[in-house]
């Protein structure tokens, strides 16, 4: 028995040493990556860490609704527990290149009755003089749902509704207002976002992914009711197809949906963009209906420093802009990110020119 315990102890020490070596190697690699690449774009603010920017123009002014990253001390894991954000801040600017104002706490997790932890990527919308902040949070049972909070100002403070939006689940809500005034909410994210744990509108508590040769898990969309606080009808799955009309497959990591759905429209074309997650790209597909289907077209943003890639796209003063984040300011710490922006170019054939955020 003593020999067995000694062997076990030796194995555990070896495994621990190997794990530390791997972690140190990853940290050294990240630092080298940060040192070797110069960012083309400055962080919009550098006194706090911000991520997952959702940008909108309200009353001719640009507002950005990001996550607020903090160093929680939680170890990195596949459940993304280290992304432990606890409040939201709002950024604004009068003109591109001008001063960026950070407006303080717009909503805190302590003021959301149903929330337990992790305020991830939010979005905002306006209607009839009111402003609505949509956000994901885990409830007291550690299940992600979407909530909504209301304010008379685009900068808050926002007052959260007492319960999550009925019928909602997973993460990364984004709200699009169409030309006729209808509002649509898009959401979903796999891995830590728990989309793979929902089947027929019910939470299973178990990860259930398709086989690599089967269609990928799909993002979700629903129309918002007139009150902006509830869903008008059933949640629908969004089809993302290749150019032959076949669904993008789960094993197609360079093109399949992972998280961070966003819609913008140019002319009659809807652009549905999203993150590919573990291949770290922002890609896009196009269609003629805000609820899809969408046909895959290409890459909007190449991978950035840090594991995540999350964005929004909006028009301001006659030009289109991409808002994104990276981890250069924190020296490559993937949970401490900073929001940036870059001009986005739609080419004459309707495609988007791919952006590379770095100079090597």
> Under a CB-based contact definition with an 8 Å cutoff, are residues 131 and 58 in contact?
yes
Please give the Cα distance from 168 to 145 (Å, whole number).
6
Position 47 in a domain: no
Position 281 in a domain: yes
> Looking at residue 31, what is its pLDDT?
64
Position 317 in a domain: no
Position 327 in a domain: no
Q: What mean pLDDT comes out for the span 264-284? A: 98
Q: What is the pLDDT of residues 7-61, one digit of tens each?
A: 333 333 333 334 344 344 444 456 667 878 899 999 999 999 999 999 999 999 9
Whole-number average pLDDT of the chain: 92
- In CATH, what number is assigned to the domain containing residue 200? 2.115.10.20
Beta carbons within 10 angstroms of residue 219's beta carbon: 28
The per-residue DSSP string of 225-290 comes to PTTSSSBSS--EEPPEE-TTSPBPBTT-TTTS--EEEEEEEETTEEEEEEE-GGG--EEEEEESST
> Looking at residue 2, what is its pLDDT?
41
> Under a CB-based contact definition with an 8 Å cutoff, are residues 169 and 146 in contact?
yes
Which one-letter DSSP state was computed for residue 171?
S
Sorted by sequence, the CB contacts under 8 Å of residue 92 that are 6+ apart come out as 61, 62, 63, 64, 100, 101, 103, 154, 155
Position 163 in a domain: yes
Beta carbons within 10 angstroms of residue 302's beta carbon: 14
Position 345 in a domain: no
H helix or E strand, kind and range, residue 108: strand 100-108
pTM: 0.92
Please give the Cα distance from 329 to 113 (Å, whole number).
34
Please give the Cα distance from 99 to 97 (Å, whole number).
7
Please give the Cα distance from 339 to 231 (Å, whole number).
30
> Looking at residue 23, what is its pLDDT?
42
> Looking at residue 29, what is its pLDDT?
52
Give the active site residue among 234, 259, 278, 326.
259
Q: What mean pLDDT comes out for the span 343-353? A: 98
The structure tokens listed for 48 are 């706090």
> Looking at residue 191, what is its pLDDT?
97
Backbone phi, psi, residue 196, to 5°: -70, -5
Q: Which domain holds residue 239?
A: 58-310
Please give the Cα distance from 126 to 227 (Å, whole number).
11
Q: What mean pLDDT comes out for the span 106-115? A: 98
Exposed e or buried b per residue across 72-108, where buried means at least 16 C-beta atoms within 10 angstroms of its C-beta: eeeeeeeebbbbbbebbbbbbbeeeeeebebeeebbb
The structure tokens listed for 124 are 């905002």
Q: Is 259 a catalytic residue?
A: yes
Please give the Cα distance from 339 to 90 (Å, whole number).
12
Position 71 in a domain: yes
Position 169 in a domain: yes
> Under a CB-based contact definition with an 8 Å cutoff, are residues 296 and 240 in contact?
yes
> Looking at residue 79, what is its pLDDT?
87
Query: What is the domain count for the chain?
Result: 1
């Amino acid at each position: 028995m003593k020999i067995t315990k000694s062997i076990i102890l030796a194995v555990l020490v070896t495994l621990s040493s190997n794990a530390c070596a791997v972690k140190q190697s990853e940290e050294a690699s990240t630092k080298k990556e940060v040192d070797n690449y110069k960012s083309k774009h400055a962080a919009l603010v550098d006194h706090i860490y911000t991520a997952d920017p959702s940008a909108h123009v309200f009353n001719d002014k640009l507002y950005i609704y990001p996550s607020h990253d903090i160093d929680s001390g939680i170890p990195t894991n596949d459940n993304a527990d280290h992304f432990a954000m606890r409040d939201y801040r709002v950024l604004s600017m009068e003109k591109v290149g001008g001063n960026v104002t950070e407006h303080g706490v717009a909503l805190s997790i302590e003021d959301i009755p149903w929330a337990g932890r992790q305020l991830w990527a939010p979005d905002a919308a306006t209607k009839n003089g009111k402003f609505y902040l949509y956000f994901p949070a885990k409830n007291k049972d550690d299940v992600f749902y979407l909530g909504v909070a209301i304010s008379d100002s685009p900068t808050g403070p926002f007052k959260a509704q007492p319960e999550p939006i009925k019928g909602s689940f997973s993460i990364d809500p984004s709200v699009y207002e169409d030309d006729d005034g209808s509002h649509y909410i898009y959401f979903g994210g796999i891995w830590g976002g728990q989309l793979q744990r929902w089947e027929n509108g019910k939470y299973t508590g178990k990860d259930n992914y398709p086989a690599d040769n089967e269609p990928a898990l799909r993002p979700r969309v629903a129309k918002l009711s007139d009150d902006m606080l509830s869903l008008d009808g059933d949640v629908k799955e969004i089809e993302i197809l290749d150019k032959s009309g076949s669904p993008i497959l789960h094993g197609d990591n360079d093109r399949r949906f992972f998280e961070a759905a966003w819609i913008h429209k140019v002319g009659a074309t809807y652009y549905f963009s999203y993150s590919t997650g573990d291949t770290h790209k922002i890609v896009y597909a196009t269609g003629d209906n805000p609820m899809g289907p969408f046909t895959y077209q290409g890459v909007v943003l190449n991978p950035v420093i840090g594991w995540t890639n999350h964005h929004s796209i909006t028009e301001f003063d006659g030009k289109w802009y991409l808002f994104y984040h990276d981890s250069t300011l924190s020296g490559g710490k993937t949970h401490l990110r900073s929001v940036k922006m870059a001009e986005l170019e739609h080419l004459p054939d309707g495609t988007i020119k791919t952006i590379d955020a770095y100079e090597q």
